[in-house]
Amino acid sequence: MENTLIDLKVAEGIATVTVNRPKSMNALSREVLEQMEQVIKDVAKNDQVRALIITGAGNKAFVAGADISAMVDMTAQEAREYSIVAHNLYGMIEQLPIPVIAAINGYALGGGCELALVCDIRIAASTAKLGQPEITLGIIPGFGGTQRLSRLVGKGKATELILTGGMIDAETAMSIGLVNAVAPPETLIDAAVDMAKKIIANGPLAIKYAKEAIHRGLQMSLDQGCKYEIELWTDCFTTEDQDIGMKAFLNKQKPSFKGL
């Protein structure tokens, strides 16, 4: 599937969604967000897709941010609606039961950094720059940055990045836990595909339950999160995949999971 602003390609069970506005540094207009929402819905309905990679077109930007040219004359109500559209899309991505990997091929600023934050794993090109520069425009992050960034890198670093509006390079981002790995630009997508393949070699239901335990648990107390983990752990023992995986281990074989 290809369209004007969002490209979707599927190969070997891995979907790659590309924001395709390179002349605008892949900025997130409302139309981009709405097209991406439809593409994500298509991915969610495709049982053949086991993992998702999100990246940007060209070699300059992953997503350089929200579309400032569209925001400059927005009313407060229009800004609110714009933010809600983004939050709904980002929540949809975050709640996918499959692994989602951001291949950050360049600038990931503002809404672009926030898009990376909703992914499960972030791999950045060595040339990438990340940040939340909204404060320099007289606004705050509005697509989840004030919430997800602090949960990922801690309150202190998140506050510094948001209040200064500064950018950091890929190595610095990795050192604070904002990205998982750094790769040369020419092998970035290969690194993302390799990571996806490593993950999807495991049981689909276990991946789903693990993601659910992590995401839901972060919104609970430690005690509640551990109790929730017990329930999902127990659910694993009602699946065929648990039987397949453990018997394969005992027989020194490679498991062939069914997702059942």
CA–CA dist 174, 191 (Å, integer): 15
Catalytic residue status for 134: yes
Per-residue CA distances from 126 to 25, 169, 180 (Å):
18, 8, 12
d(CA 87, CA 81): 10
From the candidates 114, 160, 171, 186, which is the catalytic residue?
114
Of 223, 185, 30, nearest in space to 107 by CA = 185
Active-site annotation holds for 34: no
Candidate list 2, 12, 81, 134, residue with the active-site label: 134
Tell me which residues are annotated as active site.
114, 134
